[in-house]
Amino acid sequence: MTVMETAPLEAAPSRAPLRDFRAALRRQPLMAIGLGIIVVLVLIAIFAPLIAPHPGDAGNVTHPTETLLKPGGSHLLGTDQLGRDVLTRVLYGARTSLLIVVVVLAISALIGVPLGIVAGATGGWIDDVIMRITDVFLAFPALLLALALATVLSPSAEHAALAIAVTWWPWYARLARGSALAIAQRGYVEAARALGVPRWKVLARHVLPNALPPTIVQLSLDAAGIMLTAAALSFLGLGAQDPTPEWGLMVNQGQGLLETNWWVAIVPGVAIIFAAVGFNLLGDGLRTLLDPKAGRRW
Amino acid sequence: MRRYLLRRLAQAVIVVLGVIVLTFVVARIVPGDPAVAYAGPHATPAALQQVRDEFGLDKPAIEQLGDYLKGTVTGDWGTALHTHRPVLDDLGNVIPPTLELVGIALLVSLLIGVPLGMLAARRGGGPDAGVRVGSMLSVSAPVFLLALTLQFVFSQKLGWFPVAGEYDPKLDYTHPLTVLTHLTVVDALITGNFAIFFSALAHLVLPVIAVAAYPTGVIAQMTRASLIEQLGEDHVRMARGLGYSERQIVRGLALRPALNPVVSVTALMFAYALVNTFLVESIFNWPGLGSYATASIQALDTPAIIGVTLFVALVYVISTLVVDVIQVWLDPRVSLS
């Protein structure tokens, strides 16, 4: 957006980042909550096999005699229509969701940031070409490209992640371009150029490190949106496929059972909201940290 | 100003051309023979050849791209495989119900979001905390879960609103609707068909809430942040010192500049809501663009999918163009480079 391009964020120089971070957490309890939620999610994702009560239920199994059991007993959050433990599948679902988020963010940043920096720091026709390509991809809604990809390739979590990444990287290209534009005019960059430092070295050594902080903030702000998009794709049947434990897919599988067996859809639904709230709080906190003027959103 | 507009317009045209080429590439990499998809699996070799000749499938790719570009610009978006009708005709039928849903939803989110944001910015304390928590939850909740929950609670459990559809189909026999604009609510109102009008309104309530939730949160939050910023400006402090009331200051000085970013975000929300609607449509069985897209996907109907993609991309390009123009118009300080 134009607003971002005209006013790139700038990192405040800091000598003790860790201490500053702790102080920031004290100042911003909401960010601390967000960080807490994400840490819990990551721990769940890593240790899912250890904490899940029925680890086997995350895979390709059915228990025809235990279908749609009410929450309680050995199935704290009940079972689904195939008799699989809902708690187990929700815990494993954290793996799928976090993995998709990380993959999408990594691909988008790896494509977008270098392109944006080259565009912003070089200018001229290279800038024009890169930004028009960016605009074309920006015009493609992630959901629709995923629909198209799902018809071309088969629907799966990987292809959904690919589709989201293809439509997500332009935002980082725009953001990095804005930062690079501002940084390229700084004295030290001009000095490096005047000294005859090769262009790619100026980009890598001076422009890139300074363009990263705003990008990192944007990555954390975007995580919730990516997770929701991935869940939406799975819900439509265009993302992860059974038996992959994925929250959006689980809501889809439980949508006809709200009347009789609410837990099948509601438990994974709450997990999605929980994770999205965590990402949103953390991202907003980081943004305030980097750019106190912008003010908190929540 | 005029030079800026022309340049921006030229950019938009280039982007649209890029979008068309990209959709063509996507369509080309779909596996399978499009001739077989059109003529059916039991077609004779002669029939297949006829289809290939008719659609120019034997020509080199670059020539096909040329035909495709020409067709897209001149209004020939191909034939949908699953309806055997021109894609543009199909789109003409399914876009109005979606526009109806999205348009009303955005109107609702502006009417609720802006006052809520103003309330939060001016009062602080409890209302502020409430608005902040509410807007955060509304952007964190998946739209399909919201739609499912609304449908379950308010139509299946409480029976306050109809479960699905655009209006009661039985009314087609007793009160047939004269189609003018394809916007059911508008058509029913113009022709005085109040049975369908009220039925359509009742059917709209839940889907509109589901589509409006996310934009309402974003708009409330943006209005709040933007108004707080404006109320801290020097000229506002000056006006306060001169003894103007807070109400006069908000009305006369702060609100208009504060709404500038809100207007922009609303235009972008339009393209976003258009896609979000797909999920809501599939849950409420709304006969719009989303249902058409879903049906096209299930039928592996490439021309139809490409048509939907192209349309949404066009809406996005036009929305961003409008945003840029509005921004320059509202705030001359926005750089024209």
What local confidence, expressed as pLDDT, does residue A10 receive? 45
**Residue in chain B nearest A274 by alpha carbon:** B140
**Digit-coded pLDDT (tens) for B169-182:** 777 777 777 777 77
- The answer to whether residue A49 scores a pLDDT higher than 80 is yes
pLDDT at B76 > cutoff 60? yes
> Are A148 and B132 within 8 A, CB to CB?
no
Residue B306 · residue B23 · CB < 8 Å: yes
Per-residue pLDDT, B208: 94
pLDDT of residue B260: 79
Query: Stretch B47-65: mean pLDDT, rounded?
Result: 75
pLDDT value at A26 more than 80: yes
Percent of chain A with pLDDT over 90: 29
| Residue A123, token pair as written in the block | 């200018």
Say whether B15 and A135 touch across the interface (CB within 8 A). Answer: yes
> B260 CB near a chain A CB, below 8 Å?
no
pLDDT recorded at residue A45: 93
Neighbour tally for A206: CB within 10 Å = 20
| Domain annotation for chain B: domains and CATH numbers | 1-82+300-337 (no CATH), 89-298 (1.10.3720.10)
pLDDT of residue A13 exceeding 60: no
What CA–CA distance (Å, rounded) separates B200 from B219? 27
pLDDT band at B38 (very low <50, low <70, confident <90, very high): low
Is B98 buried (19+), middle (13-18) or exposed (0-12) by CB count in 10 A? buried
Contacts of B283 in chain A (CB under 8 A): 255
Task: Write out pLDDT tens, residues A121-139.
Answer: 888 899 889 988 998 888 8
Contact A102, A161 (CB under 8 A): no
Share of chain B above pLDDT 90, in %: 16
Plot region of B164 (φ>0 → left; ψ -120 to 50 → alpha; else → beta): beta
Please report which confidence band the pLDDT of residue A250 belongs to, taking 50, 70 and 90 as the band edges: very high
Residue B157: how many other CB atoms lie within 10 Å: 11
For A64-72, what is the mean pLDDT?
Answer: 82
Q: B310-327: per-residue pLDDT in tens?
A: 888 888 888 888 887 777
Assign B29 a pLDDT band (cuts: 50, 70, 90).
Answer: low
DSSP 8-state secondary structure symbol assigned to residue B32: S
Residues 199-228 on A with a CB inside 8 Å of B are: 224, 228
Chain A residue numbers with beta carbons less than 8 Å from the beta carbon of B14 are: 132
For residue A80, how far is the Cα from the chain centroid? 28
A269/B145 CB distance under 8 A: yes
Q: Which residues have C-beta within 8 Å of that of residue B265, sequence separation ≥ 6?
A: B218, B219, B222
Closest to A222 measured CA to CA, from A117, A97, A95, A101? A101
From B335, which residue of chain A is nearest by alpha-carbon distance? A6
Residue B311, both tokens: 């349309």
The answer, yes or no, to whether residue A292 has pLDDT greater than 80, is: no
Please tell me whether residue A79 adopts helix, strand or coil conformation.
strand
Distance from CA of A249 to the nearest CA of B (A): 11
pLDDT band at residue B266 under the 50/70/90 scheme: confident
What is the model's pLDDT at position A22?
A: 80
Of A148, A224, A255, the CB nearest to B26: A148
* Position with higher pLDDT, B114 vs B174: B114
Name which of B31, B271, B335 is nearest A6 (Cβ-Cβ). Answer: B335
Question: Among partner residues A148, A236, A255, which is closest to B309 by beta-carbon distance?
Answer: A148
Q: A152 and B29: CB-CB below 8 Å?
A: yes
Residue A27 is predicted with a pLDDT of 81
Q: Is B29 on the interface with A (CB under 8 A)?
A: yes
The separation between CA B182 and the C-alpha centre of its own chain, rounded to angstroms, equals: 17
Do residue A151 and residue B305 have CB atoms under 8 angstroms apart? yes
Give the residue with greater pLDDT, A207 vs A282.
A282
pLDDT for res A104: 94
DSSP count for chain B of H helices, then E strands: 15, 0
Write out chain A residues lying below 8 Å of B274, CB-based: 141
Q: By three-state DSSP, how is residue A239 classified? A: coil
Contact A139 B313 (CB under 8 A): yes
Per-residue pLDDT at A266 = 92
pLDDT confidence tier of residue A1, bands split at 50, 70 and 90: very low
| pLDDT(A89) > 50 | yes
- Give the nearest partner residue to B327 out of A2, A150, A238, using CB atoms: A2
pLDDT digits (tens, 9 = 90+) for B226-250: 888 888 888 888 888 888 888 888 8
State residue B105's pLDDT score.
Answer: 94
What is the number of residues in chain B? 337
pLDDT recorded at residue B277: 85
Q: Contact A141/B282, CB-based, under 8 Å? A: no
Q: What is the mean pLDDT of chain B?
A: 82
- Please report the pLDDT score of residue A4 as a whole number: 40
B187's CB contacts (< 8 A; 6+ apart) are B177, B178, B179, B180, B181, B193
Supply the mean pLDDT for chain A: 83
Round to whole Å and give the CA distance between A97 and A276.
Answer: 11
Residue of B nearest to A265 (CA): B145
Q: What is the pLDDT of residue A8?
A: 44
- What's the confidence (pLDDT) of residue A3? 40
Residue A150 has pLDDT above 70, yes or no: no
Whether B18 sits inside 8 A of A132 (CB atoms) is yes
Q: Is pLDDT at A37 greater than 80 in this prediction?
A: yes
In angstroms, the CA B273 to CA B240 distance is 39
Q: B32 pLDDT exceeds 90?
A: no
Q: How far is CA A4 from CA A7, A179, A253, B239, B328, in A?
A: 5, 9, 40, 30, 15
**pLDDT, position B337:** 46
CB contact under 8 A, A298 and B132: yes
The ipTM is 0.81
Å between B21 CA and nearest CA of chain A: 10
CB A136 within 8 A of CB A72: no
Residue A103: pLDDT over 90: yes
Section B128-154 average pLDDT: 90
Residues in chain A with CB shorter than 8 Å from the CB of B20 are: none
Interface of A with B in 66-105 (CB under 8 A): none
Least trusted range by pLDDT, from B3-12, B30-39, B230-239: B30-39
Confidence of residue B106 (pLDDT cuts 50, 70, 90): very high
Gap between the Cα atoms of B137 and A112, Å rounded = 29
Please report the pLDDT score of residue B242 as a whole number: 86
List the one residue out of B166, B170, B195, B169 whose CA is nearest residue B182.
B166
Residues of B in contact with A236 (CB under 8 A): 278-279, 282, 294
With beta carbons under 8 A apart, name residues in chain A contacting B297.
Answer: 147, 150-151, 238
Across the interface, do B15 and A139 touch by the CB < 8 Å criterion? yes
- Return the higher-pLDDT residue of A213 and B136: B136
Strand partners, A79: A85
What are the chain A neighbours of B229 within 8 Å (beta carbons)?
295
